[in-house]
Amino acid sequence: MLFGICVFPEKNVQDEANKWRIRHDPHYCNIPPHMTIREAEEWDESTLKLAVDHLSKSTASLSPFKVTFNRVSTFFPVTPTLYFALEDPAPVLTLQETICTGQLAQTLHNYVYTPHITIGRNMPPGELHDLYGNLRMKQMKLTTVIDRVHLLYQTEQGGWTAYQSFQLRDS
């Protein structure tokens, strides 16, 4: 089964992202707005058990934190993607580095991990540039608390649902 790890922002951020996602993100119906912490991967039962144990231990050492999305950015020309960018990505990078160790360490990718919330993907270049040009001129300050990490699995219909959530508790 395909598993991934993410964090979900609070409703105010999800609502703002969904204003754009409903039209520009083909994954709109499959998963709410989120920040991916670890890319999806096929796991068997033993890998899942090890991952759950690792997430339980990792999240016990982390405290909840606030993040602010302050602009729209793009991954173009690498991918035709628009996203909400973080004012300071350091807390999410720390979270990702803590979680993606040991059993959940990932092989190297051809990209640098950039925490974000996707609002548009697979867009034709003209539409992407037009929307990006408009959105980058708008003032944005969306703040949310990150207080838990979610282990998700992909359903047979292609949607994603929570397998288990792990509260950041700094014990």
Supply the residues annotated as catalytic: 34, 116
> Angle at the Cα of 32 (from 151 to 3), degrees rounded to 5?
25
Exposed, middle or buried: residue 25 (CB in 10 Å: 0-12, 13-18, 19+)? Answer: buried
94 vs 61: CA distance, rounded Å: 12
107 vs 79: CA distance, rounded Å: 21
What are the φ and ψ backbone dihedral angles of 121, each rounded to 5 degrees?
-145, 160
40 vs 159: CA distance, rounded Å: 13
The two structure tokens encoding residue 65: 């934190």
Q: Do residues 151 and 5 lie in contact, with contact meaning Cβ atoms separated by under 8 Å?
A: yes
Helices and strands of the chain, counted as H and E runs = 4, 8
116 vs 20: CA distance, rounded Å: 14
